[in-house]
Amino acid sequence: MRQPHARKHRGLADPSLLTCFLTLATTVITARTPAISDFDWTTVTPSTSLNYTSCYDQTYKCAKLVVPLDWLSPESLTDNYQNGNTSVVTLAIIARPATVPESDPRHGGTIIVNPGGPSGSGVGFMLRASELVQRTADSEELGRHYEILSFDPRGVGLTEPRADCFGGDEFARGTAWWTNRGLGAVGEAGEDGGRGDLDTVRRAMARAEGFGRMCEARNGAAGKDGGIWGFMSTSSVARDMVAIVDKLDELRKRNLAISNADTVRNGADEEAQQMIELRSTVDAESDPTPRIQFWGFSYGSALGNYFASMFPGRVGRVILEAVEDVNDYHSASWHVALMDTQHVLDHFWDTCFRGREACALYRPSDSSADTIRGRVRGFIDGLEANPAPYVSPETNTFVAVTKHDVLEAILRPLYQPQRDFPALALLLSEAMQGNLTLLYKSLNQAPTHKDSCRNNKTDPPAYTCGPDAMTAIACGDGEPQDNLTAVEFADYVCGLQRHQNADFAFLEAQVRLGCSGWRIRPKYRFDGPWTTPASDARGVRGKPAAPILFVSSRYDPVTPLANAVAMSRDHPGSRVLVQENAGHGSLFSPGRCREGYIKRYFATGEMPPEGATCQPDCEPFQECARMGGVGALTSVGDEGPDTRSWRAPRAII
């Protein structure tokens, strides 16, 4: 049963979680998801090797790994670090051990996961989803059991230094959030194909520039956040992953040496002894370089693509799911994301109609999905004509709820239909009956001024800086946008509305808007090409041990299937596996077929056949026996999102 969670202090939530308040009434919640703040990370000693501490009820191991701030001049890391030089990054690392001991021949090594964003917290993702990830990758049949590991990337979450443009001033951050909200959506009234409200665009761009200037002023300032801003690029994160892989290898060799010695001492049977030796050398026949096993979602697919292209000889197994188009990302054009969003929304109407009473929007008189769609559309258009007042007495807040608020509330559940459609239907149904409480709560968790008092000396600092890190990473990776004019930007929004999606263009446009005010350039920036040499399963120096496996939903709200197809074309031997469902990737849509391919790929490197497609096991709004594990994820509501984002980040959760 879900237990009420008495939080001593505010958790460090994933910045990308916009819909945490949603819970699925229809699923059984099996276990409480720990809050990030349940473990005191200040007790972990930073180290240049992986020095794990047991954490989160002994379910996980946590470590702080020290890496150079600047990978282009990393030489004196250790000396500097020991001399108290702060030109280092301390990565917060968390691992869920395999279900078999490391000395067991079925131990398949470590799979590193990234949840996307950019600026998604790996720690938060692990607490919510590592059990599901492990269950999906592990195979009894193939005798493979993996450790799952993630980390908060540079500038993000518990990794230090943290990228925080407000320097911990939560009052100022909350005020900025409200000011941005008051400004209204960019592209308002642009649906007729005109430039929309240029005045709003001009003010929004001036504010984006102000934000950028404020972050610049913090760059290099005294204190712990000094200097991180130019060192958060995806290239640096990919290089951090190489370091993690090396440290894992180092640790494993040390542990196996100890366990081998024990085995010999205890006279354990010879066969087990041989298997241990075989496994520790099997990947080293021709090249002893440690290789990665990686599963990246959403922006994590861009990270994996950078990694594989920069360090092809480090690729063991790489799955890229909910695939970002790196060319679009690197050029900062943000042009392709919404290609299939409408299909996902159509899936909502269709499955709601088929789900009948399980969908709160369904009425017995409905003759088709279109009837439901029409009713909700009428509500949205009504709000366009007449925004509705909402009063939140607990927080002494009143707002005008607009059409754009409803659209924003709709976009995020499109990421995980199986999990979030029922709650979306309830939210809309209640709003249409005049109760805007759920809708208001979904508005990126509007900050209250009470929030600004939560941070005191006994509190760990809240992680509200997702947008800061996201802007630094995405805009730094992308081509400079700081010369964009208001007219050019308005034309861009128009283009998105006309050619991508009229409803959600204003959200997609937020990323590029942020970049228009961003001038900090990263020192270490990879410019492609995003490609890998042909793989060789024998583990040949400089070559991947297996091609990349791309995984996509048929319809993805923010990373369309066309991205996966385009990225795959540039990686010889790679394949695209499609699951016939809608959603941002399919991690949360159970499907035995898809899982079978994933298990085989991790265990053997075997690819699905060309053009392989899989049916999901379940459909939203229907009873789904296989949702048991996913149910646990719905308790994310315990955590409460600390997002002050007015963006739509591309993270899986």
**By three-state DSSP, how is residue 405 classified?**
helix
CA 191 vs CA 197, 490, 558: distances in Å: 11, 12, 20
User: Which residues on neighbouring strands pair with residue 578, listed in sequence order?
Assistant: 552, 613
Output 28 or 391, the one with its CB closest to ligand NAG. 391
Output 62 or 338, the one with its CB closest to ligand NAG. 62
Q: Which among 306-314, 388-396, 434-442, 585-593 is the span making contact with ligand NAG, rule CB under 6 A?
A: 434-442
Angle (nearest 5°) at CA 306 between 305 and 309: 80
Q: Which two tokens stand for residue 348?
A: 């909502």
Touching ligand NAG, residues 17-46 (CB under 6 A): 44-45
> Alpha-carbon distance 613 to 177, whole Å?
42
**Shortest distance (Å) from residue 84 CB to ligand NAG:** 8
**Shortest distance (Å) from residue 586 CB to ligand NAG:** 30
Q: Are 562 and 110 in contact (CB under 8 A)?
A: no
How much helix, strand and coil, in percent to the nearest 5, is found in the chain? 45, 15, 45
> Alpha-carbon distance 325 to 262, whole Å?
49
Output 522 or 557, the one with its CB closest to ligand NAG. 522
Q: Is 281 in the site for ligand NAG (CB under 6 A)?
A: no
> Per-residue string for binding with ligand NAG, 388-427, x by CB under 6 A?
----------------------------------------
Q: Is 483 in the site for ligand NAG (CB under 6 A)?
A: yes
Per DSSP, 144 falls in state: B
> Alpha-carbon distance 653 to 636, whole Å?
10
Q: Are 581 and 416 in contact (CB under 8 A)?
A: no
Q: Is 280 in the site for ligand NAG (CB under 6 A)?
A: no
Q: Give how many residues touch ligand NAG by CB under 6 A.
A: 22
Output 44 or 326, the one with its CB closest to ligand NAG. 44
**Shortest distance (Å) from residue 617 CB to ligand NAG:** 30
Q: At residue 510, what is the residue type? A: Q
CB atoms within 10 A of CB 162: 20
Binding ligand NAG (rule: CB under 6 A), the pick from 5, 30, 31, 47 is 47
Q: Which two tokens stand for residue 177?
A: 């959030």
Touching ligand NAG, residues 166-185 (CB under 6 A): none
**Shortest distance (Å) from residue 333 CB to ligand NAG:** 14
Binding ligand NAG (rule: CB under 6 A), the pick from 2, 5, 9, 523 is 9
Output 286 or 433, the one with its CB closest to ligand NAG. 433
Q: Are 9 and 621 in contact (CB under 8 A)?
A: no
**Shortest distance (Å) from residue 501 CB to ligand NAG:** 28
Output 450 or 498, the one with its CB closest to ligand NAG. 450
CA 97 vs CA 36, 100, 224, 277, 653: distances in Å: 18, 8, 32, 21, 22
Q: Are 215 and 468 in contact (CB under 8 A)?
A: yes
Binding ligand NAG (rule: CB under 6 A), the pick from 3, 435, 615, 622 is 435
Output 430 or 491, the one with its CB closest to ligand NAG. 430
> Per-residue string for binding with ligand NAG, 52-91, x by CB under 6 A?
-x-------------------x--x---x----x-x----
Q: Are 560 and 326 in contact (CB under 8 A)?
A: no
82 burial level (CB within 10 Å; 0-12, 13-18, 19+): exposed
Q: Which two tokens stand for residue 264?
A: 């010999």
Q: Which among 113-121, 222-230, 250-258, 455-463 is the span making contact with ligand NAG, rule CB under 6 A?
A: 455-463
3-state secondary structure string across 153-193: CCECCCCECECCCCCCCHHHHHHHHHHHHHHCCCCCCCCCC
Q: Is 51 in the site for ligand NAG (CB under 6 A)?
A: yes
> Per-residue string for binding with ligand NAG, 352-391, x by CB under 6 A?
----------------------------------------
Q: Is 437 in the site for ligand NAG (CB under 6 A)?
A: yes
Binding ligand NAG (rule: CB under 6 A), the pick from 137, 438, 470, 567 is 438
> Per-residue string for binding with ligand NAG, 527-556, x by CB under 6 A?
------------------------------
Secondary structure element (H or E) that encloses residue 320, with its range: strand 315-321
Q: Give first-to-last CA distance, the chain, whole Å.
A: 22
**Shortest distance (Å) from residue 76 CB to ligand NAG:** 5
Q: Is 430 in the site for ligand NAG (CB under 6 A)?
A: yes
Touching ligand NAG, residues 85-124 (CB under 6 A): 85, 87
Q: Per residue in 584-608, is it b (16+ CB within 10 Å) or e — as a string?
A: bbbbbbbbebbbebbbbbbbebebb
Q: Is 224 in the site for ligand NAG (CB under 6 A)?
A: no
**Shortest distance (Å) from residue 261 CB to ligand NAG:** 21
- The site for ligand NAG (CB under 6 A) is made up of 8-9, 44-45, 47, 51, 53, 73, 76, 80, 85, 87, 430, 435, 437-438, 453, 456, 458-459, 480, 483
